[in-house]
Amino acid sequence: MSEALGPRIAVVTFPGSNDDGDAALALELLGAEAVRVWHAETALPEGAAGVVLPGGFSYGDYLRCGAIARFAPVMEAVGAFAASGGPVLGICNGFQILCEAGLLPGVLRQNRQEQFICADVTITVESTSSAFASAWEIGQELVIPIKHGEGNWYGDDELVAGLETRGQVAFRYAEDVNGAVGSVAGVTNEAGNVLGLMPHPEHAVDPLLGPTGGVAVLEGLLSAAGIPVTH
């Protein structure tokens, strides 16, 4: 064990996850120690200070995206970790899973245009009240790719009003890309330690490969994970 390692972040792999490898690589590029966790595990790795639920098509997106993954054995440990204040980041399918699991508000529906969208998009920081946001600024623009067919976030009027009031809308698309209510691209839980977003920060950390808007998001997780949590 090297003393130089950053926070230990668990990256969960469900059957059908396909961005778990990139998530681990990106976290390591930013100085974290990424530990891969199979969905059938019932506990998170010793000393894990943060959790990433990556993108992909867990359980084939059967029934609804994320609906089956929330019953994975590891999700009980993730839920307990989140309840104890540990930072959890859900990316794309991970966001869908967190919504279905009730750890995040709302639900992701099929894109309004009924097409899978793969594009670099600009999102803006809408709130700095979460555990992830210590280095973010309101209005800060991040360019991060999206690639999803079901990224159209929905909450009813009452839910949206509550989220806006409590600063739980973390990110908004600069332009409407998929029909999401209020162009919401990412939300947090009320406590501010669970964040989900449709764009893929793990694909936007290396200038050789394009935009680097993902750095701020993942560093937000690392800074949130820097505070030891008990679980």
What value does the CA radius of gyration of the chain take, rounded to a whole number of Å?
Answer: 16
Could you confirm whether 202 is annotated as catalytic? yes
**Residue 12: its H or E element:** strand 8-13
Q: How far is the CB of 163 from other proteins (least distance, A)?
A: 13
The reply on whether position 203 binds other proteins by CB under 8 A is no
Residues 152, 130, 209, 99: what is their CA dihedral angle, to the nearest 10 degrees?
-30
Q: What CA–CA distances, in Å, run from 196 to 3, 5, 190?
A: 30, 25, 12
- Among 33, 100, 202, 219, which one carries the catalytic annotation? 202
Q: Which stretch binds other proteins (CB under 8 A): 84-92, 121-129, 154-162, 206-214?
A: 154-162
| 154 sits near other proteins (criterion: CB under 8 A) | yes
Least Cα distance to 95 among 31, 134, 52, 156 occurs for 52
Least separation in angstroms between CB 217 and other proteins: 25
Task: Determine contact, residues 54/23, Cβ cutoff 8 Å.
Answer: yes
Q: Is 148 one of the catalytic residues?
A: no
Q: Which is nearer to other proteins, 102 or 228 (CB)?
A: 102
The site string for other proteins over 52-91 (x = CB under 8 A, - otherwise) reads -----------xx--x------------------------
* Contacting other proteins within 104-133 (CB under 8 A): 106-107, 109-114
Q: Which of 148, 200, 203, 219 is catalytic?
A: 200
Residues 191, 130: Cα–Cα separation, whole Å:
7
Restricting to residues 36-55, name those near other proteins by CB under 8 A: none
Which DSSP state fits 136? -
Q: Is 91 exposed, middle or buried (0-12, 13-18, 19+ CB in 10 A)?
A: buried
CB of 64 to other proteins, least distance (A): 6
118 part of the active site: no
Residues in the chain, total: 231
H-assigned helices in the chain: 20-29, 73-83, 93-100, 157-166, 214-225
Residue span 173-202 as binding mask against other proteins, x where in contact by CB under 8 A, dash where not: ------x-----------------------
Residue 156 sits in the site that holds other proteins (CB under 8 A): yes
Residues with a catalytic annotation lie at 92, 200, 202
**Positions that interact with other proteins (CB under 8 A):** 63-64, 67, 100, 106-107, 109-114, 152, 154-156, 179
